[in-house]
Amino acid sequence: MITILDDSFSELNAYLESNKPSKIIFLTDENTHEHCLPFLLSNVTTEVPYEVIEIEPGEELKTIDTATQLWEILSDFEADRKTLMINLGGGVITDLGGFVASTYKRGVSFINIPTTLLAMCDAAIGGKNGIDHQFLKNIVGTFANPEQIFIYVGFLKTLPHPDLRSGFAEMLKHGLIADRKHWEDLTAISELTPENIAHYIERSTGIKQEIVQQDFKEQNIRKTLNFGHTIGHALESLFLKSGCPIPHGEAIAIGMICETRLSYLNKLITEEVSDEIIKQIKKYFPLHDISSFKIKEILHLMTNDKKNSLGEINFSLLNGIGSSCYDQRVSNDEITEVLTFYNNMTA
């Protein structure tokens, strides 16, 4: 289901040849339209007619308004059940495109061609599609798998550095929750460049796939893939609401620092291990000033987390490097303590 493409794009062409869609609709944003679509089209050999949709880039567009516009465009293009949507972009495009495709006419086929590191290693895989609403992250969505995921690492050449770093956060997460060696390999990288990271993409995709295959609908082990996201998503929402969004991975890096410290407070790891993990994350990620965000508002946002049950916030935490657990309860005092801990790091 995941294919790493070389310059010939032959597996993509073979897929299109054997599936014979009635029409192809490419969903792009301004940047992937400019940097990725021309190369893709120059390599696609199919005779199937196609249309291209381009939206503005950014998390602000991952909304019901954009989804509505896209449903209307699919209708204008007379998309039918044999239409194939190709989501060419980062996580915003794969989340939004997957949501639109999986709901239009109760579902048209889609494939993901991720163009950011984050989408290659995480967002394009696993069938979580969705949109934000009232600044709540991915609060409306579907579980629906793309027919295929085609990864072409060459697309990373034009990716801005902050977005490369953002994807690296999710890779570090994969190492922390499931594979100590992956964590050690990644944290040995001194400079984040596509060349230095490319070799480790396959392992990250493998970790994500192995977990999702065991628990597609996130009833149990899939919750570990959400490590760093309970606090991270709440902060990402607040940055988005403030009009100064930060990349998803940067919010998750803050979340991972706080939730690593929570793992220590809950006696799941020693302070020494917690300090070591935090030191490594700090090596790559800028510290953000979150002191103006009210703890009450952060806690309130966390009550919307999708892992919660029976009115309780459930955390996914670490019980070692490369080992994790889920459905962990922590007190509001402990959450306040780790947010203060992070604030003190930035002071």
Ligand X SMILES: NC(=O)c1ccc[n+]([C@@H]2O[C@H](COP(=O)([O-])OP(=O)(O)OC[C@H]3O[C@@H](n4cnc5c(N)ncnc54)[C@H](O)[C@@H]3O)[C@@H](O)[C@H]2O)c1
29 contributes a contact to ligand X by CB under 6 A: yes
122 contributes a contact to ligand LNCXM5UN by CB under 6 A: yes
DSSP 315-347: EEEEEETTEEEEEE---HHHHHHHHHHHHHHH-
305 contributes a contact to ligand X by CB under 6 A: no
55 contributes a contact to ligand X by CB under 6 A: no
154 contributes a contact to ligand X by CB under 6 A: no
- Tell me the three state secondary structure of residue 270: coil
Count the site residues for ligand LNCXM5UN by CB under 6 A: 12
33 contributes a contact to ligand LNCXM5UN by CB under 6 A: no
Query: Of ligand X, ligand LNCXM5UN, none, which one sits near residue 179, judging by CB under 5 to 8 A according to partner kind?
Result: none
**Whole-number Å distance between alpha carbons of 63 and 341:** 33
* Residues facing residue 86 across a β-bridge: 26, 111
**Whole-number Å distance between alpha carbons of 257 and 312:** 22
Give, for 256, the enclosing helix (H) or strand (E): helix 248-265
- Tell me the three state secondary structure of residue 55: strand
Which residue type sits at 312?
E
**Whole-number Å distance between alpha carbons of 294 and 104:** 39
For ligand LNCXM5UN, the binding residue among 222, 268, 302, 324 (CB under 6 A) is 222
Nearest distance from C-beta of residue 259 to ligand X, angstroms: 16
Query: Of ligand LNCXM5UN, ligand X, none, which one sits near residue 163, judging by CB under 5 to 8 A according to partner kind?
Result: ligand X
274 contributes a contact to ligand X by CB under 6 A: no
163 contributes a contact to ligand LNCXM5UN by CB under 6 A: no
Q: Which stretch binds ligand X (CB under 6 A): 153-161, 183-191, 237-245, 308-316?
A: 153-161
